[in-house]
Structure formats: structure tokens, C-alpha cells
Amino acid sequence: MAEETVMALEVKGLSGGYGRVPVLHGIDCAVAEGEVVGVLGHNGMGKSTLLKTIMGFLPATAGSVRFHATDVTRITPYERAGLGLGYVPQGRGIFPQLTVRDNLRFAWHDYSGGTETEVMEAVLQDFPRLRPLLDRDGGALSGGEQQLLALARCLMGDPDFLLLDEPTEGIQPSIIEEMAETLLRLRKTRNFSVLLVEQNFDFIADLSDRVLVLERGRITGELSRAELADQGKVDQFLGFGAARATRGSSPRVAAQPRGGMTAPHSGVLAPRAVAGRAMPPAIQGRTDFNQTTAPAPVAAVQPPVTNMTVKRPNLSQMRDMASRLGMSMTDAELAEYLQLMEGNFQSYDRLDAMPDHLPAVRYPRSPGHFPDYSENPQNAWYVKTEVRGAPDGPLRGKQIVLKDTVCLAGVPMMNGSSIMEGFTPEIDATIVTRMLDAGATIVGKSHCENFCLSGGSHTNAKGPVHNPWKHGYMAGGSSSGSAVLVATGEVDMAIAGDQGGSIRIPAANCGVYGMKPTHGLVPYSGVMPVEQTIDHVGPVTNCVADNALLLEVLAGEDGLDPRQYKPQTYRYTEALGRGAQGLRIGILKEGFHRPESEADVDAKVLAAAERFRDLGARVEEVSLPEHLLAIDCWTAITLEGLQDHMMWGNSAGTNYRGLFLPSMMDHMAQWRGRADELSPSLKVSMFVGEYFQTQYRGRFYGKAQNIMRKVTARYSEVLRQYDMLLMPTVPMKAQEIPPPDCSISLYIQRAFEMIGNTAPFNGTGLPAFSVPCGLSEGLPIGMMLVGSNYGELKLYQAGHAFEQSGDWRTM
């Protein structure tokens, strides 16, 4: 009689997620004693959420988890660990400031089955690579060594069941192979059971007795070990491009890598990192497509393709495409077109087999950690890390935080949205490399608003960002965390982005200096976009001198950004100390006494204008009615443009030469299946953009761009008479953060009510500088100075003269 299978872990009907956002939907799975079960799926499908819920870090909203026949659904993670359940989280899960020895010591528990010394010695026998590294800080290890340390830390608790979350993420192939060998050896010596979630098909196929396929929080398929060697079965469940791979070739068909999605890179990146991540080669030996007619024309004769890594459409998919395109065709016609497309498909096969060409990453770093409330009282941080740049340079000693739209290789990025959570870029943005080359230290990523669609600071998926001057009030958005961290002195400088005021609004609300440079002056390459013609990135600092210094480092062409058209750069620090004598400043009439204006804000900014007069500037009022028209043009450009570029274009779009990040595009595309998670401020923008794109064919977008040229010309005419225009950055003080259960109307009002003065200069691209000029009711007020194209020098001259004239807090 066959021996009865004993289950180590049984999961039945498990549902859960993050707060009110459901992720898991009725998961059923079981792992027998001594069995290794893999869970394969894309980013965002719920793999990490599944393990966190099984371990108890996230609550189950339905269903049960039984471990060794004991219901553990409602007990704490610590209690589950005491029963023998071990967990290795995604992103290493080590203490970078502690030595390897102390990392292991702090992982020992009284249920570990021996003394601390005995257990550590046993673990080091299993991980000999760690023994010579015992006195090295965890943050100084390579990514692979950190992952081995994370696994060793887990074993300090003497578990008999391991939950492994993406252990190969960002790891070099040689270390992945070592890790696989280690796990296979441990399985034999310790008789582990393992539940392993991965995207790396080679790794998961090598280790697993069977593989579950997870899609959108549901188990949609299962492959036995025998079926893993059956290419047809694998394709049936996974398709081409469903998983990443480790090896360039393999004798086993099941382990053949697939083209398409590459892994987010979250490990330590060595200074000699290659410029582009190698894409998997083609699958060997697939010749199942019957090509009987001539292929579509191609540019040149290419060698025939026998390795078809790009999945071909079937007849049903061809029917769907024809219907969407408004075509009426018979199945015979569709089949003929399908055959004619084969030549094009082969071009994609060859493209898929090539390594990508991405910028090199030159400085080592660790993934960092997510700070808890004690480190993050305003919720301004997303992740803390430390990336040290060159030993010397103009930014030596400066600690800089990045808005969480800026790619920092190996460090998580979510752009304020649960959709992007789990994404880790594999490149550094151009501006990151420039700052590191200049000697800066990057200390982390700051929270921003949900896909940057808010001038308030209440839309981030991790909660609102609080004003440093008054808790419970808006910090301003969308670069909310950047301004807060500068204002609190936790960093010296910050990078922020701006599509409708997102540098200047939080700078005004938090009492710091924020420069939106001329459009294209600072390269946007490697920064998550909204719409190319309004995208800007620039510095936020506590003083004018630091702002000018940072812009000197950031500015200039990089050859990768289509927003740049021969930008003119200067030594901005040379503007410091020149004073305001002789400057011509126009007080823009239409920037004051607006319907949303508050009288104390107008009064403080007008008082600042008088101070300029006292400093020797020529100050007078000027009227420009087009300022009120500009917001209408910006609305059409932004709402239709973001829907086309950021949403349907998966944060990249087409029709330009420049830097593309396919891994970001893959992750962003998940919004289509998770649109309920989008913020109301983005949803309303999408509704408007989609309606006018579909019903009016984009004509208003085009007309708005045409009229914006006229508006820009009018600003330029006035700026030939004046060196700069002056107005309130934000016509109102920071408002209260709305409660979590507020109405949709209030949520959206708080997102967009303050952009009347800032958004016009995203459409025109003119530089605009927010300078703090006073306090009212305990909240800062900002004055905005606007110059001509590449006129940042004059703005810094005026801003520095004003700053030196007195303490703005007492003005």
C-alpha cells in the first residue's frame, strides 16, 4: 500500500491584500513534507503578497493557513516562526549597518535548537562563503552575498519549511547557481519543505517538484516535474516571454529561457556593471510555424530564424485584432495575413535574442530599507539607502534624496502607486550618474503623489505626506517627500519633478527653494514621465546657493532625451552675490486676486515685491491676460497627453529616439488589470483624456499645443521688457489633508485647486523659481519668479538677493 502523503502546509481559500486593495483571491495550494513547490508569475501578480500572508505579515481576509495540521491563520509571524516556518523576504532582509556576524546573531532565537554559537557554526558550515566575511558590514556585501546571508539568517531559526521570495532577483548567474546548489544540498541534509516564488524559470524549474502559475492573485495552472520538460505544456501556461532566465543555454528544454520581460534589478551593483542587461537567447529547436508563403518585406536579407522566442497570434487573436481595427475578413484571409507576417515576426525573434543597450551603472549600492514611523513621522521617505559617489567633486559631502520617479538601479521604486510597487529599475537616471560623479551621496527615495497626479500630498498609496510646519496639513505635491526632507534638514538637497507645479508647490508649502528649470535644460532620461512636453526635473534645497550648485551639475544634454533641444547652460553660482540693483521685475496682475486666492498670501508676496524695490530693482505691475488662458491649454495637453503617453503608452509611448526602459513598461502595463487601484485624481484625468482622444480624435490636444505657442510668445514679449515676472507660487496656504473617507469631490479638489499659477509654465517651458517669503498662520508662503528661456541666472540673482535681505520667516 502506498505511503500516505503528509502535508506540511495547506492553504485553502486564502484572500488578502493591502488595506482595502485586494490582491489574493481564494488561493488553494498545499506543500507536502520534503516537497519544493514553485510559484511563477510576473511582477504584481501577488507572489510576495501570498508569502507575506502565509507568514502572517499581512492579514488574511478569508480562508485559512494550516502548518503541520495546526491552524496558524490568526497567530503572529513570531509564533509561526517558532513552529518552524521560515521566511526570506524579497530585497534581502538583512541589516546593512551590522556585520555579518551580528546579522546572524540577531537572527538566533530560543527555539533555534541549540545555543547561539552552536547554531551559528552549523549555519556557517552550510554557507562557507560567509565565514571569511563575518566582520564585514552587510551593506558592503555583493547582492549575491547579501542574499546568501538572508538565507543563512533564516536558518538561524532552525525552520523545517522555507518561504523564499524572489531569491534570484538582481543576482549574478554564478551566485544563482551557487544558491541553487546550496538549497538542493540543504533539502537533502535538512529535509526542508519549500514554497518558492520566482520569475526566473531556470531556477524554479531546477529546484521544484512542481510549479504553480499565479496570475492576478489566482492560481491558474500547475506543471508537474515531468511537464516542466514538455515545451508544449510550458507554453500553454506561460507563453513566450513569461519568465526570465539565468542561463544562456541548457540541455533541458524546460529550463530554456524565454524572451521578453527582464527582471527588476534590486541587488548590489558593482562599479563594473555592464551597460546593458543581456536578454535571454531564443528557445532552441522550435519550428512549429508552417511558413508557406513569402514573408513581408524586410530591410535586408537576414538569416532564417529557427528559434522562435516571440509567440505568434492564433486565428482567434487575429479575429479580435481585425475587429478592433474595424476590418471585416474571412478566416482564410486572416490566415493568409498571418503567414505573410512571419517575416516581421522573425525580426522580433532576432531583436528578442539581442542584449539590450542600457546605460552603465558605475557605483555600488544596497537595496536599502523601508523606514518605520519612528524614522519617518511625516511619511516623506519611501526607501532609505546609501549610494556613495566619487570621492571628490562639487557635491562632495552633500546628501541627496530622489523623488520616487527617478530610477536608482537596484533600489525599489513605486511612483506613489500600488501598481508600480515591486518594481526595481536596473539603471540610474542620467541625473543620478551626474550627481554621483560630482561626489554626492544618494540617501534614498522620497514619497511622491500617486503617479504624480496631485498638487496636494494625500494621494500616495502608502498614506499622506504631512507638512513639516503643521502636521495634518498638505506638504504639497507631487514631489511632496522631497520638499519635506529638505525642510526638516534630513537631507541637504532633493530632486523633484514638475508637470503642473510639482517642484514649486511643495517648495512653497514647506518653505524651501524649488527650481523648475527651462524645459529640456535638465535631462529627463531615466525618470518616469507623464507627458513629454510638460515633463521637468529640478532641484529643491534649503538655500539659493545649493540650488544653483545642484543645477550646475544637473544641466546639459545627455543625447538620450528628446525633450532637449540644444540647451544653454551656465555657471549658475556666478549669479550669487550680484544683488538686485537694476533688475526689472514685473508683478503679474493675473497671478493675484484669483478666485482661489487668499488675501494673506497675496499680501505677503506683494510685500516681497516691495522688498525688491528697496533692494534697487525696478518693480511695476504688468498685465498678461494670456496667463489665464494658459491653464486651459495645459489641461488639454496634460490630460490627453498623459492618457496617450503614460497610460496607454506604458510610461514610454513611441515616435521618438531616446532611452526606453522595457522593464518599467512591462510593470506599468499592469494598470489595465488593476485600474481600481488608481487614485481618483488619476481616474478623473483619464476619463477626460480618454473621452477627448476618442470622441474628438485628439484635435483639442493639437489645438492646445498650437495656442500654447502663442501664449509662450506673449510671455516672451513681456520678458523682453522685464528680467522676470513675480506672483504667488500657490495662491493659498497649505490646506488640511482630507480624511481617508472623504468624498471623491473633496479628494480631487485638494489635488488640483492650487495649480493656476504654476501649470502655465509647464506648458510654456519657461523657468520658474519658488522662493519662501513669509509665514501666515504658521504655514510658509512662496513667491514665484519666472524668467525667459534659459534665464535661470537672473532668477538665482534675484532669489539670492532676496534671501540675503533677511530671514523670510520673520517677513
SS (H, E, C) 517-534: CCCCCCCCCCECCCCCCC
In this predicted structure, what is the pLDDT of residue 289?
30
Catalytic option among 47, 384, 398, 403? 403
From the list 684, 705, 701, 679, the residue with the least C-alpha distance to 692 is 701
Written in H, E and C, the secondary structure of 212-279 is EEEECCEEEEEEEHHHHCCHHHHHHHHCCCCCECCCCCCCCHHHCCCCCCCCCCCCCCCCCCCCCCCC
- Rounded to the nearest 5 degrees, what angle is found at the Cα of 783, between the Cα atoms of 777 and 786? 165
What pLDDT digit, counting tens, does each position of 349-393 carry? 889 888 899 999 999 988 899 999 999 999 999 999 999 999 999
Does the annotation mark 311 as catalytic? no
Does the annotation mark 589 as catalytic? no
Catalytic option among 48, 266, 478, 597? 478
Grid coordinates representing 154 are: 533564516
pTM confidence score? 0.68
In this predicted structure, what is the pLDDT of residue 254?
33
Catalytic option among 502, 525, 685, 788? 502
In this predicted structure, what is the pLDDT of residue 137?
87
Rounded Cα gap, residues 415 and 446, in angstroms: 9
Rounded Cα gap, residues 714 and 761, in angstroms: 12
In this predicted structure, what is the pLDDT of residue 231?
65
From the list 485, 521, 479, 480, the residue with the least C-alpha distance to 499 is 479
* 641 CB neighbour count, 10 Å cutoff: 27
From the list 642, 651, 650, 728, the residue with the least C-alpha distance to 681 is 642
Chain center to CA of 105: 34
Cβ–Cβ < 8 Å for 371, 490: no
Does the annotation mark 502 as catalytic? yes
Chain center to CA of 787: 31
Strands, sheet with 21-32, edge to edge from the N-terminal-most edge strand: 21-32, 7-18, 60-67, 70-71
Mean pLDDT rounded to a whole number for the chain: 88
What pLDDT digit, counting tens, does each position of 452-505 carry? 999 999 999 999 999 999 999 999 999 999 999 999 999 999 999 999 999 999
In this predicted structure, what is the pLDDT of residue 698?
96
Q: Torsion over CA of 407, 413, 415 and 418, rounded to 10 degrees?
A: 160
In angstroms and rounded to an integer, the radius of gyration of the C-alpha atoms of the chain is 28
Ranges in the chain, pLDDT < 50: 1, 239-300, 306
- CA separation, residue 480 to residues 449, 642, 780 (Å): 7, 20, 14
Range list of β-strands (E), 499-582: 513-516, 536-541
Pairing of strands 7-18, 21-32: antiparallel
